[in-house]
Structure formats: C-alpha cells, structure tokens
C-alpha cells in the first residue's frame, strides 16, 4: 500500500465525509443538503490533509483554527486536530503519523503555538507529543435523592426559543470562555451549524435542544442547553441530558442547577462534561447522590514551545530550567530556562544543567495547569529532585481548573 497526503478539493468533499462516517461506524446521507452545508461552513478545505491511495481517500484529518484560552486569560492561536480516521484496510502503516506530521508542520508555518484535540482512545496521541491536559467529570444524579427544588433569590430562569437563544448565548459564552483555560472560540458558523442546527441524528432518542437562561436585574447571568428523554417505568423516570452549562455568575450557576434538578417527570440529571472543580456536590442537599466518572478532556501539544510558555501566566515569579525531549517536533527539543518576573514569563534556550527533564507530552499535560508535576513524577513522566518538581507546582497550576466545553 502506498499513500500520499494531498489537498482536499471541493470534488473530494463527499468522499471525505463518507470516509469519516464509515470509520466512526455510521452512514452519511450525501443527499442531505443541510449536512453538506454544515460541513462546508465549519470545515475549511485549506486546513484538511486527507491521505489518498491512488484516487481513493483512505485517511481523513484536518484542524480548526481556534483561539484557546490559557492560564492568565490570553488567547493563543491553536490548531484543533479533528476528524482523524484511517480506513481499516490501511491502518498501522503510518497514515495517521503522516497526517499528524502535516498538522504540526502547518501549525508551525501558521505560527500557531499550540495544538489541541479530543482523543477517541488514550494510547494514540502521546507518541506525537500530545498530553492530556484538562479533566472532566461525567455526572449522573437522581434528584429524588440529591434534592429537588430550591431557587435562587433575585434570579429568574426562563425557557427561550431558538431565536432568542441565538441573540443571548454567544455573548455569555464569550464572557465566560476568556476566564477559563481550555475553552476555545466559536465562530458564527459554529454557533449556527454545530449548536443551533440540532439535527435529529444528534439527539440520540431525546428531545430537541431546550434553552434556559438565568437572569438577574434584567441581565443574563448564565445559560444551559439540555434535552429531555422521557422514561416511563412505574415511576416517571425521565432524564435531563445537559449538553452545555455556562454560568456567568455564581448566582446564575446556582439558579441553573436548581432548575435542572427540579423538572417534573425528569429526576435523572446527566451532564457528561462537568468541570472538575465544579462545586455541585456542595450545592445539592445530598452531594453523594451525584455519581461522577472522571476522564480526560482536551489534549494539548506545544508546537512552538517558547511562544506557548510565554503566552500564559504563572502563579508566582520564579525560574526553572527544563530539559524537554521532543522527537516529533525536533525544533523544540532542547534545554530552556523559564523565568517569571513581575508576572511576565520569558522562555529561552540555554546551555545549563536542567532542574527537571520531561518529554514534551508531559509539558502538554502541565501546560494548562490542571495536573500536578508531583503526581506526574510519581509515574515517572518527569524527572527532577523533589524541590525542583515542587517549584514546577508553584508555577504551573491554574485556578479555575482548565476545562474544555465541547468535543471537536
């Protein structure tokens, strides 16, 4: 088998879409014009890098251009790797490796210091220098035990239609996304085609999206998107499936959760992507009734290591010398001094004895501030003496915890 990475032309798009869906195990209806329009609006052919075997597409991949919030609130241009598939007849022959090569090289040319992705399986991306960087908590609670009811003084919740949601949601989202590392920008096309379009195929047997907003003194203080899935056993056992919950203020947060656990006939409330530092357990009458399953969210790769380290802020001033191994993006491989003075970071290549040695994937895990160097050292993902590793933990953590709001 031989293959090559070639540009994606408009003529190739139907085969490309079909290949993505076939590998993920579903079928694309190429007659569905809305689906084609959604694809065309959200994916940019110039950022795709399909692999061809002769005339056939056998590998799909591409990336989105995001602004990703990093600790301290800067927004860093980021190549968000997506729709990676390799036809089952062509796996384990280097197709993915060639596509990730393209992804990293192009991001470097475009001066995007970071790469990001959500992984279908954990073992795939570490070899390419990606590290799991945000953590999410998949929550399921039974409001009959956790506590139903409650309200937030001075805050009202209101169900709105899609037209009002289109006016109100993007502004609240933008307000919040710059405050939490791991959140990325949404274009107008993204809102239209990935959020509000809400095709039947995305509902998994549940209702269309409901939009609820919380308001205080006439101003919006948060929103949630959810679906309802009715379930009639002897008891009414329906589910609320939260797709996204974006509180702008603490009172908005409380009001939205109080509402979501109070909907008659729907006592089971599920949210697949709750931030790891979310205080829901303290809000509920019995927090233990919320079962949680922890898992990785966003994975991060430093494409331009000094630019990425300088783009974020750190918890305090200090300095540390890092020996970073990076075989896949060898321009990063080297020893760097990271110095933070009066809140401003500088990162330069140096010839010096390192305090800590680590592969670039571990730096990816540390970068967003959601993992501790001391924990990663315990599983040998970085090496250094106890004081140096502690110094990393003085610098890198982020409050609030990093969180990525949506799979891409």
Using rule CB under 6 A, residue 366 touches ligand COA: no
Q: Cis (ω within 30 of 0) for the bond into 314?
A: no
Binding segment for ligand COA among 11-19, 83-91, 372-380, 395-403 (CB under 6 A)? Answer: 83-91
Q: Which of 33, 55, 89, 123 binds ligand COA (CB under 6 A)?
A: 123
Of residues 390, 380, 398, the one with CA closest to residue 298: 398
Q: Supply the minimum distance, in Å, between the C-beta of residue 276 and ligand COA.
A: 21
Closest to ligand COA by CB, 119 vs 307, is 119
Q: Supply the minimum distance, in Å, between the C-beta of residue 16 and ligand COA.
A: 14
Binding segment for ligand COA among 80-88, 203-211, 240-248, 347-355 (CB under 6 A)? Answer: 80-88
Of residues 323, 320, 345, the one with CA closest to residue 333: 323
Using rule CB under 6 A, residue 120 touches ligand COA: yes
Closest to ligand COA by CB, 129 vs 384, is 129
Using rule CB under 6 A, residue 84 touches ligand COA: yes
3-state SS class at 302? strand
Binding segment for ligand COA among 121-129, 230-238, 241-249, 400-408 (CB under 6 A)? Answer: 121-129
Using rule CB under 6 A, residue 121 touches ligand COA: yes
Task: Find residue 246's DSSP bridge partners.
Answer: 223
Closest to ligand COA by CB, 124 vs 168, is 124
CA distances in angstroms from 181 to 177, 293, 316, 347, listed in the order given: 8, 21, 17, 20
Which pair of tokens denotes residue 12?
């190739």
Q: Supply the minimum distance, in Å, between the C-beta of residue 335 and ligand COA.
A: 27
Closest to ligand COA by CB, 130 vs 314, is 130
Rounded CA separation 210/228 (Å): 8
CA distances in angstroms from 4 to 128, 182, 237, 273, listed in the order given: 19, 33, 52, 37
Using rule CB under 6 A, residue 92 touches ligand COA: yes
Q: Element (H or E) spanning 68, and its range?
A: strand 56-69
Using rule CB under 6 A, residue 5 touches ligand COA: no
**Residues, the chain:** 408
Q: Which of 85, 133, 274, 362 binds ligand COA (CB under 6 A)?
A: 85
Of residues 72, 61, 63, 69, the one with CA closest to residue 109: 63
Strands (E), 202-359: 210-216, 219-229, 239-247, 268-275, 290-296, 298-302, 318-325, 334-341, 344-349, 356-359
Of residues 38, 61, 16, the one with CA closest to residue 202: 38
Q: Which of 3, 8, 19, 23 binds ligand COA (CB under 6 A)?
A: 23
Using rule CB under 6 A, residue 58 touches ligand COA: no
Using rule CB under 6 A, residue 205 touches ligand COA: no
Using rule CB under 6 A, residue 74 touches ligand COA: no
Sites of contact with ligand COA (CB under 6 A): 23, 84-86, 91-97, 119-121, 123-124, 127
């Amino acid at each position: 088998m031989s293959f090559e990475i070639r540009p994606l032309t408009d003529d190739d798009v139907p085969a490309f879409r079909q290949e993505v869906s076939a590998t993920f195990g579903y079928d694309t209806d190429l007659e569905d014009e809305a689906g084609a329009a959604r694809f065309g609006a959200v994916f940019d052919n110039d950022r795709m890098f399909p692999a061809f075997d002769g005339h056939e597409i056998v590998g799909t991949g591409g990336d989105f251009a995001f602004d990703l919030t990093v600790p301290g609130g800067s927004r860093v241009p980021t190549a968000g790797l997506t729709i990676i598939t390799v036809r089952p007849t062509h796996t384990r022959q280097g197709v993915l490796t060639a596509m990730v090569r393209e992804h990293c090289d192009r991001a470097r040319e475009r001066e995007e210091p970071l790469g990001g992705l959500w992984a279908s399986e954990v073992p795939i991306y570490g070899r390419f220098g990606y590290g799991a960087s945000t953590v999410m908590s998949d929550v399921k609670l039974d409001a009959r035990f956790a506590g139903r009811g409650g309200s937030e003084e001075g805050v009202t919740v209101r169900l709105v239609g899609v037209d009002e949601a289109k006016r109100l949601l993007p502004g609240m989202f933008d307000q919040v996304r710059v405050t939490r590392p791991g959140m990325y920008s949404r274009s107008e096309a993204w809102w239209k085609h990935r959020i509000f379009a809400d095709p039947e195929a995305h509902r998994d047997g549940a209702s269309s999206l409901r939009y609820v907003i919380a308001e205080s003194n006439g101003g919006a203080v948060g929103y949630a998107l959810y679906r309802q899935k009715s379930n009639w056993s002897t008891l009414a056992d329906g589910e609320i499936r939260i797709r996204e919950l974006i509180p702008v203020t603490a009172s908005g947060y409380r009001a939205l959760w109080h509402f979501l656990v109070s909907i008659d006939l729907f006592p089971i409330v599920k949210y697949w992507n709750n931030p790891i530092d979310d205080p829901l357990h303290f809000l509920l009458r019995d927090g233990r009734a919320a079962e949680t399953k922890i898992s990785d969210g966003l994975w991060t790769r430093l494409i331009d290591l000094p630019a990425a380290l300088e783009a974020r802020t750190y918890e305090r001033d200090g300095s540390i010398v890092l020996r970073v191994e990076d075989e896949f993006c060898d321009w990063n491989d080297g020893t760097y001094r990271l110095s933070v003075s009066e809140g401003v970071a500088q990162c330069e290549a140096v010839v010096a004895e390192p305090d800590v040695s680590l592969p670039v994937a571990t730096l990816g895990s540390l970068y967003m501030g959601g993992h501790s160097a001391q924990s990663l050292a315990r599983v040998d993902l970085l090496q250094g003496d106890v004081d140096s590793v502690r110094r990393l933990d003085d610098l890198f953590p982020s409050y609030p915890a990093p969180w990525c709001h949506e799979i891409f």
